[in-house]
Amino acid sequence: MANTAQARKRARQALKHRDHNMSLRSTMRTAIKKVVKAIEEGRKEEATSAYKAAVPVIDSMVNKGLAHRNKIARHKSRLNARIRAMA
């Protein structure tokens, strides 16, 4: 356990930041799952609209430092490729 006042405060802040980050990461995962579900059910229009709604949510994770930009780019690219493959 932390011994100094500064260390105790940093420990409290770390817990708050962790909870906040987990919430944001969960929001991102939910947005991705909505797109994947629409793709698997074969609904292209719904998948496209879910993708358009998910992109700003996913991009905001990079700006907040919660995910690496290459990982986010990979997710977006693969989702978009799966939507385009639906014919």
Domain residue ranges in the chain: 5-85
CATH code that applies to domain 5-85: 1.20.58.110
What pLDDT, in 10s, does the model give residues 55-68? 999 999 999 999 99
pLDDT in tens, 19-34: 999 999 999 999 999 9
Specify whether the CB–CB gap between 86 and 42 falls below 8 A. yes
CA distance 67 to 73: 10
Residues in the chain: 87
What is the band of 1 on the pLDDT scale with cuts at 50, 70, 90? confident
What CA–CA distance (Å, rounded) separates 36 from 39?
A: 5
DSSP category for residue 3: -
Question: How many CB atoms sit inside 10 A of residue 21's CB?
Answer: 14
